[in-house]
Amino acid sequence: MATIIDGKAYAAKLREQVGAEVAELKTKHKITPGLAVVLVGADPASEIYVNSKGKMCREAGMESFDFRMPDTTTEAELLAKIKALNEDKKVNGILVQLPLPKHINESAVINAIDPLKDVDGFHVINAGKLATGQQGLVPCTPFGCLLLIKSVLGDDLSGKNAVIIGRSNIVGKPMANLLLNANCTVTITHSRTKNLAELCARAHIVVAAVGKPEMVKGEWIKNGAVVIDVGINRITLSDGSKKLVGDVAFAEAAERAKAITPVPGGVGPMTIACLLSNTVKAACLQHNIQPQVFYPPYSSDCFTISPNSSSKPK
Ligand code: GUN
């Protein structure tokens, strides 16, 4: 039976570590990192995410600035808001919650964010830096997945076969680049891929980010693989009750995997912890300070650095 990867516990440790770094930035450099979150419209799921981001930010000792804009907001109005946030010294990180209303061009909005404040890592400059192995801000969810993978397999992922299911700009593509930078042999699969089961059967690492409930079957999983489930799908059971499930048939996969993330409580909590970490990193980059948490090569050892230790970033 697989070890169940406790993303909630890892995320709590990460947030603690980020909090320690924030405290140091305040005392040594008189900087309080600030994160601005912009929500356009009133999507209930997005509201929950945004509230939670603000709360965790404050808990880590950072400033949180929330901007709620009506769904009638024009692209020009949103771009003007981003320009103001780009120029605001108290704001080190800017996150525009996606999806945006249909009449707004998402790429135009993302690429209007100062790349140094792009804590989502979605700007083409940050995506390009990741793709070419340069320092930049890395998307939070795949970053969290990488840390969970390293928490099981250690820092050296060289030569591992990794199969990523899903090719989104938010998860699949940056995940592929992170694993490629870690010397894995990476296969990106998607809705048109043939023989997905065969490809999975050779994978030491499977990352499922496709948004299809329990699509990845247990029999596809290689014995001893690490399975990371990014999916969050709400399904209705035969008795009418609702349940959250991932993209992986958890119970079946757990019989073969070495380790697997649950849904909920796996990848989800890591995303916000990595967002906080990115905000601290952004503040450091803007002030020419060497960040500590998660400095490349993103060692999973960051979990073991005590808040007051003098450990150098790895
Ligand atoms: N919507 C769903 N996931 C994300 C994310 O990681 N960042 C932003 N900005 N919006 C999202």
| All structural domains of the chain | 30-114 (3.40.50.10860), 140-268 (3.40.50.720)
Confidence (pLDDT) at 196: 98
Confidence (pLDDT) at 134: 87
Residue 302 has which token pair? 């960051």
| Closest to 94 measured CA to CA, from 86, 104, 105 | 86
Give the residue, by CA position, lying nearest to ligand 1 atom 11: 98
Confidence (pLDDT) at 158: 96
Average pLDDT, consecutive stretches of 10 residues, N- to C-terminus, the chain (314 residues): 96 95 97 98 92 96 98 98 98 97 98 98 96 92 96 95 98 97 97 97 98 98 98 96 97 98 97 96 93 63 38 35
Mind listing the pLDDT tens digit for each residue in 256-291? 999 999 999 999 999 999 999 999 999 999 999 988
| Closest to 235 measured CA to CA, from 247, 222, 244 | 244
Mean pLDDT over each residue of the chain, to the nearest integer: 93
| Closest to 210 measured CA to CA, from 163, 159, 242, 146 | 163
Burial (CB count <10 Å: 0-12, 13-18, 19+), residue 78: buried
Confidence (pLDDT) at 311: 35
Q: DSSP readout, 51-73?
A: HHHHHHHHHTT-EEEEEEE-TT-
This prediction has a pTM of 0.94
Atom of ligand 1 at shortest range from CA of 96: 9
Confidence (pLDDT) at 151: 94
Residues 78 and 109: beta-carbon distance below 8 Å: yes
Q: Which residues contact 258 (CB under 8 A, 6 or more apart)?
A: 2, 3, 152, 224, 225, 226
Confidence (pLDDT) at 314: 34
In short, whether 118's Cβ falls inside 6 Å of ligand 1 is: no
Atom of ligand 1 at shortest range from CA of 98: 10
Which element (helix H / strand E) includes 140? helix 140-153
Q: Could you identify the residue written with the tokens 């010294």? A: 89
DSSP, collapsed to helix, strand or coil, labels residue 272 as helix
Mind listing the pLDDT tens digit for each residue in 154-193? 999 999 999 999 999 999 999 999 999 999 999 999 999 9
Mutational pocket test of ligand 1: of 38, 43, 56, 95, the residue with most ligand atoms within 8 Å of the beta carbon: 95
Catalytic residue among 118, 120, 229, 247: 120
